[in-house]
Amino acid sequence: MASSREPGTAPRSRPETSSGRHASGDSPAAASAGARPTSRDVARHADVSQATVSLVLGGKWEGRVSPRTAENVRSAARALGYRPNLAARSLRLGRTRTALLVVPALTHDYFARVHTGASRVAAEHDFGVVLYPSPEGTGPAVDPFGSARAALDGVIASSMAPDALAALRDGGQLPLVMLDSDPEADRSPATVNLDIADGMHQAAAHLLELGHVHIAHLAAAVDSWTFGMRARALHEAVAGTAGAVVRTERCALSVEDALRAATRILETRPRPTALVCDDDLLAAGACKAARRLGLRVPEDLSVTGFDDLSLATALEPELTTVRLPAEEVGAEGMRALLAVLDGRRARTPVLPVELVRRGSTASPPAHRT
Amino acid sequence: MASSREPGTAPRSRPETSSGRHASGDSPAAASAGARPTSRDVARHADVSQATVSLVLGGKWEGRVSPRTAENVRSAARALGYRPNLAARSLRLGRTRTALLVVPALTHDYFARVHTGASRVAAEHDFGVVLYPSPEGTGPAVDPFGSARAALDGVIASSMAPDALAALRDGGQLPLVMLDSDPEADRSPATVNLDIADGMHQAAAHLLELGHVHIAHLAAAVDSWTFGMRARALHEAVAGTAGAVVRTERCALSVEDALRAATRILETRPRPTALVCDDDLLAAGACKAARRLGLRVPEDLSVTGFDDLSLATALEPELTTVRLPAEEVGAEGMRALLAVLDGRRARTPVLPVELVRRGSTASPPAHRT
DNA sequence: CTGAAAGCGCTTACAG
DNA sequence: CTGAAAGCGCTTACAG
């Protein structure tokens, strides 16, 4: 429509200006036929140059473009429904304002919440987050770039195994922020951690206070920092209490396997009166095992979880568990990445965690009247 | 290293070839100093033109480039660790080989499985899938492009409300595939559906066979096709059986709200002997409610779920529920999108679902001896 | 069988 | 206060 004097179109005196168009049809010389409008179209409509459009829409116009012109540009953009071509911008800038969030699985809502937190902070900085559930779980992540398909400025990886870290760094020299991972790892980049040890200490202290002495640890057979730490912390805590013992049983990170492992534990004598589980999923399996053996939770057996997934309150009784501030982890991870990208030193906080006491723990049978 | 005769560098006789470099440092005129290698660098190393590199690496060389040259190019690319710049490719091609998968939430592993299926098919076609959990749940999706940050070829949206569909289409004229949605919706694009009605019929038939007559429906208070269908199908099924009645209670899609709603249902007389839940999450709430009221599942109350989330088997007893082939839904959704993108007519299958009988259903009390 | 050139849509010095 | 030009790294007709 309308006022096109077409200022931006003039010079371009190369030979094949018209035969050079090998793109999809319909544009002999002019503008927005139905294709997506470009900044040039906006410029034409506002009767300014493409540079002015870029300045105005990029928010860098003050002192350089008159307010009137700026307003013209904005309304032209609105009228045309202009949205910048991200590919072109990325190519020009060499940056994409996009981070990849690599997580081992999406079956935990823990990771969904990490994503929420990261996205929130990202949005505040006009960044985007692309979620990439690693097909290998906590294992080595296969070239996320092929799969995630976005051009990336950086990577945030949560709870991945050490090898996974290595593979990620190879796939490009991208800045990397690790979440819930070994802070001492080789060439460790920024790390955002949870005070896992304190969480386990709280759980153990709670059980010991209740009077439990025979404690079992249902440990996740996953080679990652976070689970190693859980095991160490539990043993530390119990070792400090005279007469208390821990026995460990390992199992895969699934309800089914936890059910089997918990059954093994509960069939040995003396039967533990409390089961500390590395994860709420495992605690769910433990509760199933108890029920099948005719044991009541928490009267005959106390069970604790870890993570405070939504599963924890879907069960009856609800799980006593360690709540991890998942959203905050994601948010801090994104802040750390932003800092690295800015060349600033990233904070590498250790976030506090909290034991949530619910219905799955109580004093052991012997202690009650 | 080494053999650079630098063929691709010659002409370019514009004035400010050197002052024109406003990018980040270190490249006075030559090549791969430490920055990411480009196709030009590969061309230099292989002593060919950039065009040849593109042809070879793009797999379009046969009959146009000699096998020897092709091999040279490939090894140069390998040696340099070349990976094409996706932004540049997208800009040139106008396509990104990336699809956005919009889901209402990540707390269900149903959606995680949809993603898995979609990614698998996508990978077979050198496509990527970016997952976008809509901040508004099933409600209108806010410009996913701003947030997802990828340049997109198409959108796959699962179980979204009708309004959400509209908003998505506005945000660009992208091809759209709807999953688990009203096939009759206005200007409906390709749709991949589940035979939700049949699933609910199976659940109802199972309960009726067991002898249940007083049935309650714990319905999700979510305005979407899939839940509307669940309600209609249940009423249909029960209407066909003399003497059977359904009473409906609606609640939000959470365990907590389901617990409250189920409690209301179970406190009315005559008390239903079976509770049909729209979702496994709701069924979990129903089981909690039963237990708190001193009712045993399934002896006093049968409960059925829907979806077969991992939650279904985390509970004890495990839930009788309708299993949805989530991965297959994702896979078919991606196939449909690929078809649309190819200008082919998309299949719009209705995938079969299956009732899985587990421990949460049994004959009603009156029927047992 | 291979190379030179154009152009995708942006942003940013630079020159008025 | 504004415009003309270059160039990010690709791919693809086109011309040898």
DSSP string of B230-289, one letter each residue: HHHHHHHHHHTSTT-EEEEEEE-SSHHHHHHHHHHHHTSSSPPSEEEESSHHHHHHHHHH
CA distances from A274 to A210, A259, B150 (A): 10, 15, 49
- The upper half-sphere exposure of residue B235, i.e. CA atoms within 13 Å in the direction of its Cβ, equals 10
**Cα–Cα dist A130/A144, whole Å:** 11
Q: Is the pLDDT reported for residue A32 higher than 60?
A: no
Nearest protein residue to nucleotide C3 (CA to C1' distance) is B49
**Cα–Cα dist A68/A59, whole Å:** 14
φ/ψ of residue A218, rounded to 5: -90, 100
pLDDT (tens digit per residue) in A82-117: 888 888 988 998 888 888 888 887 778 899 899 989
**Stronger pLDDT, A61 or B16, i.e. the higher one:** A61
**Cα–Cα dist A297/A290, whole Å:** 7
The integer distance in angstroms from the CA atom of B172 to the C1' atom of D7 is 28
Classify strands A98-103 and A154-158 as parallel, antiparallel or unpaired. Answer: parallel
Nearest chain B residue to A90, by CA: B87
**Cα–Cα dist B131/B147, whole Å:** 11
Question: Among positive and negative, which fits the CA dihedral B241, B243, B244, B245?
Answer: positive
Q: Quickly count: other Cβ atoms within 10 Å of residue A344's Cβ.
A: 10
pLDDT at A260: 98
**Cα–Cα dist B44/B182, whole Å:** 55
Say how far residue B206 (Cα) sits from the centre of its chain: 30
**Closest Cβ–Cβ partner in B106, B135, B311 for A106:** B106
Nearest chain B residue to A257, by CA: B314
**Closest Cβ–Cβ partner in A23, A111, A148 for B130:** A148
CA of A270, closest CA in chain B: separation in Å?
25
B39 within 8 A of B56, measured Cβ to Cβ: no
Q: Which residues of A touch B23 (CB under 8 A)?
A: 94
CA distances from B68 to A166, B52, B59, B82 (A): 34, 12, 14, 19
* Bridge partners, A216 (sequence order): A247, A275
Least confident stretch, A50-64, A212-226, B266-280, B304-318: A50-64
Residue type, A180: D
Query: What letter would DSSP give residue B349?
Result: -
pLDDT (tens digit per residue) in A324-364: 999 999 999 999 999 998 888 888 899 999 999 999 999 99
Residue of A106, A114, A136, A307 to mutate when probing chain B, most B C-beta within 10 A: A106
* Bridge partners, B217 (sequence order): B248, B276
Pair of tokens at residue B164? 């959400």
**Closest Cβ–Cβ partner in B128, B147, B288 for A149:** B128
CA of B196, closest CA in chain A: separation in Å?
23
Q: Is the pLDDT reported for residue A7 higher than 90?
A: no
Residue B128 to residue A109, Cβ atoms within 8 A = no
The integer distance in angstroms from the CA atom of B51 to the C1' atom of D16 is 15
Residue partners of A248: CB distance under 8 A and separation at least 6:
A216, A217, A219, A231
pLDDT at B28: 31
- Name the nucleotide nearest A91; use CA and C1': D8
Torsion of CA B148, B154, B160, B164, to 10 degrees: 80
**Cα–Cα dist B83/A69, whole Å:** 42
Pair of tokens at residue B128? 């990527």
pLDDT at A308: 96
pLDDT at A242: 82
Residue A147 to residue B128, Cβ atoms within 8 A = yes
**Cα–Cα dist A2/B285, whole Å:** 61
A176-179 β-sheet, strand order: A350-351, A190-194, A176-179, A154-158, A98-103, A128-133, B128-133, B98-103, B154-158, B176-179, B190-194, B350-351
**Closest Cβ–Cβ partner in A23, A151, A288 for B316:** A288
B275 within 8 A of B250, measured Cβ to Cβ: no
The integer distance in angstroms from the CA atom of A77 to the C1' atom of C11 is 17
Q: Which residues of A touch B24 (CB under 8 A)?
A: 94
The integer distance in angstroms from the CA atom of B52 to the C1' atom of D8 is 20
pLDDT at A147: 45
Question: Using alpha carbons only, what angle is made at residue B100 by residues A84 and B135, rounded to the nearest 5 degrees?
Answer: 90
Residue of A57, A100, A109, A130 to mutate when probing chain B, most B C-beta within 10 A: A130
CA of A272, closest CA in chain B: separation in Å?
21
Residues shown for chain A: 369
Bases along strand C below 7 A from a protein CB: 1-14
Residue type, B154: G
Identify which of B203, B173, B193 has the alpha carbon closest to the alpha carbon of residue B333.
Answer: B193
Low pLDDT (below 50) residues in chain B: 1-33, 147-148, 170, 369
Say how far residue B171 (Cα) sits from the centre of its chain: 19
Is residue A235's beta carbon less than 7 angstroms from any atom in nucleic acid strand C? no
Residue pairs spanning A and B at CB distance below 8 A: 140
**Closest Cβ–Cβ partner in B131, B147, B315 for A315:** B315
Most confidently predicted of A34-48, A83-97, A119-133, B264-278: B264-278
Q: What is the mean pLDDT of the segment spanning A146-151?
A: 54
Nearest chain B residue to A119, by CA: B147
Is residue A64's beta carbon less than 7 angstroms from any atom in nucleic acid strand C? no
pLDDT at A23: 34
Pair of tokens at residue A196? 């896992």
Residue A133 to residue B123, Cβ atoms within 8 A = no
- Name the nucleotide nearest B23; use CA and C1': D8
Residues 87-146 of A with CB under 7 A from strand C: 88-89, 91-93
**Cα–Cα dist B286/B312, whole Å:** 12
The domains located in chain A, with CATH, are: 7-13+29-84 (1.10.260.40), 96-194+326-348 (3.40.50.2300), 196-325+355-367 (3.40.50.2300)
Say how far residue A114 (Cα) sits from the centre of its chain: 4
Residue partners of B272: CB distance under 8 A and separation at least 6:
B212, B214, B215, B216, B247, B265, B266, B301
Residue B115 to residue A96, Cβ atoms within 8 A = no
> Any alpha helices (H) in A193-341, and if so which ranges?
196-210, 225-239, 255-266, 280-292, 311-314, 326-341
Pair of tokens at residue A217? 């640890």
**Closest Cβ–Cβ partner in A96, A107, A127 for B112:** A107
The integer distance in angstroms from the CA atom of B344 to the C1' atom of C11 is 38
Q: To which residue do tokens 């995938």 refer? A: B351
Residue B133 to residue A115, Cβ atoms within 8 A = yes
pLDDT at A4: 32
The integer distance in angstroms from the CA atom of A151 to the C1' atom of C14 is 30
CA of A315, closest CA in chain B: separation in Å?
7
Q: Which residues of B touch A83 (CB under 8 A)?
A: 145, 172
Q: Is the pLDDT reported for residue A296 higher than 60?
A: yes
pLDDT at A210: 97
Identify which of B243, B303, B313, B242 has the alpha carbon closest to the alpha carbon of residue B278.
Answer: B303
φ/ψ of residue A173, rounded to 5: -90, 35
Q: Which residues of B touch A123 (CB under 8 A)?
A: 147
Classify strands B176-179 and B154-158 as parallel, antiparallel or unpaired. Answer: parallel
Nearest chain A residue to B151, by CA: A86
Q: Quickly count: other Cβ atoms within 10 Å of residue A318's Cβ.
A: 18
Which three-class secondary structure state does DSSP give residue B291? Answer: helix
B276 within 8 A of B304, measured Cβ to Cβ: yes
pLDDT at B167: 58
Q: Quickly count: other Cβ atoms within 10 Å of residue B95's Cβ.
A: 14
Confidence of residue A160 (pLDDT cuts 50, 70, 90): confident
CA distances from A122 to A333, B42, B98, B193, B198 (A): 10, 35, 21, 34, 43
